[in-house]
């Protein structure tokens, strides 16, 4: 009876090992596929437009507002302005001066938020294509190449995902992306 249990156990182990070995794995550089998407090429011009149409006028307005309030608080006619009003305006000037001085950092944060907003649909599209390619080609695991320091032999899915997205892979990347 023990021999039968032993053989059953050995059979289960071999069947399990066979199914693990049969699993396919692949990897892809998500950033690389996103970088060759046509939507990404348009992103730079959209960000420049956002910067010139939205952020630059904001900065100009802050500087004008600072100059206007500075002339009220410290200009020739400041003596005509009541002391309480001048005090309040000087407090506002300190806040505006801080914003003007830190505008580069503030605008960079706005720009990064806008970039993330514009990139989100592109990443979703790429994610959908990766999942579809994995399913169509029987890949059990697909890894992001940037997250791996060491990886076992696997297929690079860049060319398959690019084909799914109807995107042309630049010639320098074609030789390294052919799946096995």
pLDDT of residue 178: 47
pLDDT of residue 180: 47
Alpha helices in the chain (DSSP H): 2-21, 30-35, 38-50, 56-74, 83-101, 103-137, 158-164, 171-174
* Burial (CB count <10 Å: 0-12, 13-18, 19+), residue 173: middle
pLDDT of residue 13: 52
First vs last C-alpha separation in the chain: 46
Q: What is the pLDDT of residues 37-54, one digit of tens each?
A: 999 989 988 999 999 899
d(CA 123, CA 132): 14
| DSSP, res 77 | G
Q: What percent of the chain has pLDDT over 90?
A: 39
d(CA 178, CA 180): 7
Q: Closest Cα partner for 123 from 42, 29, 31, 25?
A: 31
pLDDT of residue 128: 95
Q: What is the pLDDT of residues 52-67, one digit of tens each?
A: 899 889 999 989 998 9
Q: Per-residue pLDDT for 6 more than 60?
A: no
Mean pLDDT of all residues belonging to the chain: 83
Phi, psi of 26 (to 5 degrees): -145, 175
d(CA 58, CA 86): 24
Q: What is the pLDDT of residues 65-86, one digit of tens each?
A: 989 888 888 877 777 778 888 8
pLDDT of residue 111: 93
pTM: 0.65
């Amino acid at each position: 009876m023990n021999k039968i249990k032993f053989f059953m156990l050995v059979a289960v182990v071999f069947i399990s090992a066979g199914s693990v070995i049969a699993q396919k794995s692949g990897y892809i550089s998500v950033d690389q596929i996103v970088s060759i998407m046509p939507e990404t090429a348009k992103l730079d011009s959209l960000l420049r437009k956002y910067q010139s149409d939205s952020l630059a006028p904001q900065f100009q307005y802050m500087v004008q507002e600072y100059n206007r309030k500075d002339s009220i608080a410290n200009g020739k006619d400041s003596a005509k302005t009541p002391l309480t009003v001048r005090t309040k305006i000087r407090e506002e000037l300190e806040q505006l001066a801080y914003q003007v001085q830190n505008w580069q950092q503030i605008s960079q944060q706005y720009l990064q938020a806008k970039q993330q907003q514009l990139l989100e649909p592109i990443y979703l599209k790429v994610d959908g294509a990766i999942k579809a390619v994995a399913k169509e080609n029987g890949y059990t695991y697909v890894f992001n190449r940037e997250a791996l320091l060491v990886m076992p032999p696997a297929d690079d899915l860049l060319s398959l995902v690019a084909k799914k997205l109807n995107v042309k892979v630049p010639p320098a990347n074609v030789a390294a992306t052919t799946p096995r």
